[in-house]
Amino acid sequence: MKIGARTVETGIRKAPVERGYVGALGLAGDVVADEQHHGGLDQALYLYSSEDYGWWGGELGTVPKPGSFGENLTLSSFGPEPVRIGDCFRVGAAFLEVTSPRIPCAVFATRMGEPNWVKRFADSRRPGLYVRVLEAGEIAAGDPVERLGGGEHPTVVDLMDVWYDPSPDPELLERLLRSPLAERARANVEQKLSRVSD
């Protein structure tokens, strides 16, 4: 994929499959090209919802196809309540724990071909979910999905807001650090807390 003058390897293009095996590092056969920013035990899968795609349809004039945002799993909905860090989803035989939101990047913007996509996506506050795999197993299209609350940790959107906030609330940062964050997100929150504490 060309991003300005650079050519980069990317795994953002996804094709639908009827079933697959989810292991500790994600969906068998999936490609993670940029391992510095994507993938790993704490961001093994990226989930998006058809409900949020429907919202984007109103913004973009057409509903994006599942997989357009590079997600590994497209769920019909995340449920009526805001998703919190530490919430869990049972999908087929796999058990997944929410660790962070997706922070949009230049690859995603190039993929979408929309003006100001990074800002638009961040402002939408519909980031989708990175998850770690607590229990591996097979999943298939149409599998039932069960969501289990993970406690009173901050929401995924709280964490996304903190990412862009130059002076976030120290109490919120401390609450985030007590939640089961992805390591990349944890490093970012720790950095922010050290700056606001100085």
For residue 72, name the pLDDT band (cuts at 50, 70, 90): very high
pLDDT at 5 over 80: no
Asked if residue 181 is part of any domain, the answer here is no
User: In angstroms, rounded to a whole number, what is the distance separating the alpha carbons of residues 150 and 152?
Assistant: 7
Whether 58 maps to a domain, the answer reads yes
177 belongs to a structural domain: no
- Among 7-11, 72-76, 79-83, which stretch is predicted with the lowest mean pLDDT? 7-11
For residue 94, the tally of other CB atoms under 10 A from its CB is 24
- Mean pLDDT, the chain, integer: 89
Percent of the chain residues topping a pLDDT of 90: 73
Assigned domain for 166 exists = no
Answer whether residue 102 is part of any domain: yes
6-57 pLDDT per residue, tens = 444 444 556 778 899 999 999 998 876 566 666 799 999 999 999 999 999 9
- Assign residue 26 a region (left: φ > 0; alpha: ψ between -120 and 50; beta: otherwise): left
User: Would you call 98 exposed, middle or buried from its count of C-beta atoms within 10 A (0-12, 13-18, 19+)?
Assistant: buried
Quick check: 15 and 157 in contact, CB under 8 A? no
Mean of pLDDT values over 124-151: 94
Residue 150 confidence (pLDDT) above 80: no
Q: CB neighbours of 1 closer than 8 A, spacing ≥ 6?
A: 7, 8, 9, 10, 12, 107, 110, 111
Section 169-193 average pLDDT: 96
Dist CA 48 CA 149 (whole Å): 18
Q: What is the CATH number of the domain that holds 113?
A: 2.40.33.20
Sign of CA dihedral 102, 108, 114, 117: positive
- Asked if residue 25 lies in contact with residue 44, where contact means CB atoms within 8 angstroms, the answer is yes
For residue 31, being part of any structural domain is answered with: yes
Among 165, 159, 196, residue whose Cα is nearest residue 177: 159
Asked if the model's pLDDT at residue 128 lies above 70, the reply is: yes
Nearest to 60 by CA among 14, 124, 107: 124
**Cβ-count burial of 115 within 10 angstroms (0-12 exposed, 13-18 middle, 19+ buried)?**
exposed
pTM (predicted TM-score): 0.90
Domain that holds residue 107: 2-151
pLDDT: is 126 or 6 the higher one? 126
Burial class (CB in 10 A: 0-12, 13-18, 19+), 146: exposed
Quickly state the pLDDT bin for 129 (edges 50, 70, 90): very high
pLDDT reported for residue 35: 64
- At 23 the pLDDT is 96
> How many structural domains comprise the chain?
1
Instruction: Specify if 189 maps to a domain.
Output: no
- Give the pLDDT band of residue 77 (cuts 50, 70, 90): very high
